[in-house]
C-alpha cells in the first residue's frame, strides 16, 4: 500500500512540474510575440504608433498565445496603463514580495499562487520610451489620449513592471 501512495505522490509532482514547464514556455512565448511586434512597430512607424498597437492589438496577441498553449495568459501589474491589468489584492502582495526579492538579488523566474504561475516582467530600455521617467511630450500626449487613467510611468531599467500570469 505504501508503494502505491509513493508512486501517486511522485506522479503528482511530475505532472505539476510538466505544467509549470509548459506555463513558462507559454509565458516566454507571449513575451517574445509582444516584444517582437512592438519592436518592429517602433522601428517602422515610431513610438506613437506603438501606443496604438498596445491599446488595440496586444490583447489579440495575448488571446492568440492563450489558444496556442491551451492556457489563459494575461499581464498584471500594480501600476496599470489598462485597468484590466490591475493586480488583485493577493497579486499585489506577490508584487511586493517580488520587488523585495529583486532588491536583494533573489528574484525568482517563477512565482505561484494556487494553480497560477507568474513570470516577472522587468523593464528593458525599449520599454522606457513609454514607461520611463522622461517620456517625450508627443508620446505622453498619445498615452494620455488612449489611457486617461494611466499609472504605468516613472520606471527605471530593470525594475519590476509586473507579471505574465499563466493559468491552465
Q: Which are the contacts of 167, defined by CB distance < 8 A and separation ≥ 6?
A: 71, 72, 115, 116, 117
Q: What is the mean pLDDT of residues 124-148?
A: 92
Whether 9 is in a domain gets the answer no
Is residue 92 pLDDT above 60, yes or no?
A: yes
Per-residue pLDDT reduced to its tens digit, 94-103: 999 999 999 9
Q: Does a structural domain hold residue 108? A: yes
**Has residue 38 been placed in a domain?**
yes
Domain-located, residue 156 = yes
Residue 1 in any domain: the answer is no
CA–CA dist 71, 65 (Å, integer)? 8
66-78 pLDDT, tens digit each? 999 999 999 999 9
pLDDT for the residue 12? 45
What is the number of other CB atoms lying within 10 angstroms of the CB of residue 52? 14
* Residue 2 pLDDT class (50, 70, 90 cuts): low
Q: What is the mean pLDDT of residues 78-88?
A: 94
Domain assignment present for residue 6? The answer is no
Residue 124 belongs to what domain range? 22-167
* Residue showing cell 516577472: 120
d(CA 77, CA 81): 9
List, edge to edge, every strand of the sheet that includes 116-122. Answer: 72-76, 160-167, 116-122, 111-113
Q: Does some domain include residue 33?
A: yes
Q: For the chain, what is the domain count?
A: 1
Q: What's the whole-number mean pLDDT along residues 99-125?
A: 96
Least Cα distance to 73 among 137, 162, 154 occurs for 162
Does residue 8 form part of some domain?
A: no
For residues 12 and 113, give the distance between their C-alpha atoms in angstroms, rounded to a whole number. Answer: 18
Non-local CB neighbours of 79 within 8 Å, separated by 6+ positions: 151, 152, 153, 154, 161, 162
Amino acid at each position: 500500500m505504501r508503494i502505491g501512495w509513493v508512486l501517486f505522490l511522485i506522479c503528482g509532482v511530475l505532472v505539476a512540474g510538466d505544467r509549470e514547464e509548459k506555463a513558462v514556455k507559454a509565458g516566454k512565448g507571449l513575451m517574445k510575440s509582444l516584444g517582437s511586434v512592438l519592436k518592429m512597430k517602433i522601428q517602422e512607424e515610431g513610438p506613437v504608433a506603438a501606443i496604438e498597437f498596445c491599446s488595440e492589438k496586444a490583447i489579440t496577441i495575448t488571446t492568440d498565445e492563450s489558444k496556442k498553449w491551451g492556457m489563459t495568459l494575461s499581464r498584471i501589474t500594480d501600476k496599470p496603463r489598462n485597468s484590466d491589468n490591475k493586480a488583485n489584492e493577493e497579486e499585489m502582495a506577490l508584487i511586493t514580495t517580488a520587488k523585495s526579492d529583486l532588491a536583494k538579488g533573489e528574484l525568482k523566474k517563477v512565482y505561484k499562487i494556487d494553480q497560477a504561475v507568474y513570470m516577472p516582467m522587468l523593464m528593458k530600455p525599449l520599454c522606457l520610451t513609454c514607461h520611463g521617467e522622461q517620456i517625450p511630450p508627443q508620446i505622453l500626449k498619445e498615452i494620455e489620449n488612449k489611457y486617461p487613467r494611466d499609472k504605468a510611468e516613472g520606471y527605471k531599467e530593470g525594475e519590476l513592471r509586473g507579471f505574465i500570469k499563466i493559468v491552465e
